[in-house]
Structure 1
């Protein structure tokens, strides 16, 4: 009597090593909270208050961001801006006790449609990123919802909050400081980190990156990876993100057009991508979800399907087989 081998756990469930946090000033009043490829948070300190960009995954984890902010200012945290809806970015928002939580209309709609499923899916996949999950009071609900573009003033500091196109999700939002040319990109741009594209619009994302490049940022806080402090590094991060997306989607679409199923498309895409991108952080974690979305989109499924904990496991088991 034979028994089947157990399915391997998600790559991310074994990623338990703590990361070193860096808190750096990029321009007067503009800061980056980064942690060796874990999700980044941006901070803008204006004349009369503070904006936090992406909240971390739990109120407990938000406490460390607040502690870093308090090393540079005692001004109140007035705003939390959500660059998109993913749980790892938004569920810590209540910890800041901000006056307002800002999100795009598309991000709000995604929270309504799939916020709870995303929370359960992400928590199961990447437990280290949800330290103190029992401190989460529930889904994060924006109090200010905008469409396309809004300008917010922190005293004399002008913050342009914009949707420049679909990419990582349909609700992607960036914050732009035009006076200091600092861009907070959310997960539209990564640096040395593998883009997660499970909820992406892969054929539209490159054009959105072109719109970011047209801003000509001189400093940039990506979704993951170290903060970028020169125009050349900003351009490099945008270009490399675009090159990964193009190569990944192209490999999967080519495999599907040749009649490959999801498993074979994954094998072919992995072989094509690993030599150049395999050392990027969370490569093994993201690639199954990336390929799954690319397989769907190249087959005509325009809008990303909802990830649930059950769908995660089914997809993972199919690829292991």
Structure 2
């Protein structure tokens, strides 16, 4: 593990975020909600050692072991640790999250085979929903909201209306480049509007530090920049890689994982062509854009 150790951030009575610095590739955030008798966990981690550290942090807070786990989407950094909590905990997610978790299988192993993940048993959500689902942990109301295809096809927003705390999953990266390769650019813009409408006080992004709704401006601005870039580059007949190499990121150059630009362009181009996106070709182009250095999983 890197020098920066994961840590817990109390957000409200019974509500905490679990932050894995610096929020780069595979270093996701999680969270948990407890009334002292039951605990709901929001997302797991990319490796079993990291999932064990997450479980230890929950127990160290005085909360009981999770009996419910919500997956905000299917990516392995948010779901690989499911097997550590099931079957004692019921895994919950959007129905497309379940389908994609099963279809993707050991997805992180394919991209980063060198990482020591542990004996990961792919464990998809056993309880699914379509549009909204409300859970109650004691007196704490937890609403799951599907915003439509956005970061992926099966995203869930986790909203605590009384506490005004929202866990966004990877609809929001704080300090990192938004990533729509497996979702939708237009859907991601709609998801930002859905998040804004909640009027949250505290925003827990999928990656990066706990923040406030001001982060939505950066996400939306980047997505609109991406839309304009893709439109102009397509008109010129440029490939996603050519467009990414020529792009001036401007204020978005400060965001980590800038190589995601070319993958995002793959997504937009595929949508315009009405074709499925080639995920592995997008990752290969990210490596090229990185100067031949592979995209690194930091877990």
Alignment TM-score, normalising by the size of structure 1 = 0.82
* Map of 1:148 onto structure 2: 131
Deviation, structure 1 residue 17: 4.2
Give the Cα separation in 2 of the matches to 1:276 and 1:318: 19
Cα 1:224–1:314 change in 2 (3 A) is closer
1:135 match: secondary structure = coil
Deviation, structure 1 residue 74: 3.7
- 1:221-240 Cα offsets, whole Å, 9 max, x none, are 10111012xxxx32x11121
Matched residue count: 287
* Map of 1:106 onto structure 2: 96
Higher Cα radius of gyration: 1
Cα 1:27–1:313 change in 2 (3 A) is same
Deviation, structure 1 residue 297: 2.2
Cα 1:312–1:36 change in 2 (3 A) is closer
Give the Cα separation in 1 of the matches to 2:278 and 2:72: 19
2:230 matches 1:259: no
Deviation, structure 1 residue 92: 0.8
1:107 match: secondary structure = helix
2:281 matches 1:281: no
Deviation, structure 1 residue 85: 0.6
Is the 8 Å Cα contact of residues 263 and 282 (structure 2) preserved in structure 1? no
2:33 matches 1:57: no
- Runs of 5+ unmatched residues, structure 1: 1-15
Give the Cα separation in 2 of the matches to 1:18 and 1:209: 33
Cα 1:249–1:173 change in 2 (3 A) is same
Is the 8 Å Cα contact of residues 32 and 41 (structure 1) preserved in structure 2? yes
* Map of 2:277 onto structure 1: 305
* Map of 2:296 onto structure 1: none
**Match 2:74 to one of 85, 95, 98:** 85
Give the Cα separation in 1 of the matches to 2:14 and 2:221: 32
Identify which range, 47-56 or 17-26, moves more after superposition. 17-26
- Runs of 5+ unmatched residues, structure 2: 293-299
Deviation, structure 1 residue 314: 6.8
Alignment TM-score, normalising by the size of structure 2 = 0.87
Higher helix share: 1
1:244 match: secondary structure = helix
- 1:130-174 Cα offsets, whole Å, 9 max, x none, are 5x41331x2222111111111111122111111022210111101
- Where do 1:1-321 residues align within 5 Å? 17-34=2-19, 35-37=21-23, 38-97=27-86, 98-116=88-106, 118-124=107-113, 130=115, 132-136=116-120, 138-228=121-211, 233-234=212-213, 236-268=214-246, 271-273=247-249, 275-284=250-259, 286-301=260-275, 304-305=276-277, 307-308=279-280, 312-313=283-284, 316=287
- 1:32-87 Cα offsets, whole Å, 9 max, x none, are 11122231111111342111111111222111112221222242311111111111
* Map of 1:12 onto structure 2: none
Identify which range, 70-79 or 210-219, moves more after superposition. 70-79
Give the Cα separation in 1 of the matches to 2:117 and 2:103: 22
